[in-house]
Amino acid sequence: MICDSCGVEAPTKYVIFYQNIGALLMRFTKRIEGNLCKSCIHKYFWEFTLITLILGWWGVISFLTTLFYIPNNIIRYLFSLSLKPVPPGATVVELTEEAISRLSPYAETIVTRLNSGESLEYVAGDVALRARVTPGQVVLYLRALVTASQDSE
Ligand SMILES: [Zn+2]
């Protein structure tokens, strides 16, 4: 529901993309992992894969790494093609004071429902309707709750 990379509220999918730059005896790798929106998946797939295709092969280990990285990126990308694009007008989710005050009466309900096994997506959508916030704000609110409870331990 929230892109781990750009923070936009949109459908997301878990991906992991790798990049390798071979420099004979050295290599430089980079990866991005998380639930990303379609725009970020597209961007990172092309960036990481093209750089690896061009610069990935230089060195024995780099060569083998690249042999693994490129198919991984392509397969992950193909599996993400069915993901719905970022809706027009979608924005980066922010947990405003207003959203917090609207959500605080539901804090207990959210936790109880999640503990009883309902999916986060379902609960977030439902509570968002009732509290007049967006599902992404529910998720951010929940994360804030979790962080706060960890801090107090
Ligand atoms: Zn994104």
Ligand 1 ion: Cβ-proximal residues, 5 Å cutoff: 3, 5-6, 37, 40
Structural domains of the chain, count: 2
Compute the distance from residue 121 Cα to the ligand 1 centre, in Å: 18
Residue 25, φ and ψ in degrees, nearest 5? -90, -10
- The distance of Cα 49 from the centroid of its chain, to the nearest Å, equals 19
Q: How high does pLDDT run on average in the chain?
A: 94
What gap in Å lies between CA 117 and CA 83, rounded to an integer? 25
In a domain, 63, yes or no: yes
Give percent helix, percent strand, percent coil of the chain, each to the nearest 5.
Answer: 55, 20, 25
Same domain, 65 and 106: no
Q: Compute the average pLDDT of residues 38-55.
A: 98
Same domain, 31 and 67: yes
Compute the distance from residue 5 Cα to the ligand 1 centre, in Å: 5
Residue 146: give the domain boundaries.
97-151
Confidence bin at 148 (pLDDT 50/70/90): confident
Residue 35, φ and ψ in degrees, nearest 5? -90, 110
In a domain, 24, yes or no: yes
Compute the distance from residue 111 Cα to the ligand 1 centre, in Å: 27
CB 6 within 8 A of CB 34: no
pLDDT above 70 covers a percentage of the chain that reads 99
Category of 58 on φ-ψ map: left (φ > 0), alpha (ψ -120 to 50) or beta: beta
* pLDDT of 153 over the 90 cut: no
In a domain, 115, yes or no: yes
Q: What is the pTM of this model?
A: 0.82
Confidence bin at 146 (pLDDT 50/70/90): confident
Same domain, 30 and 65: yes
Q: Compute the average pLDDT of residues 55-80.
A: 96
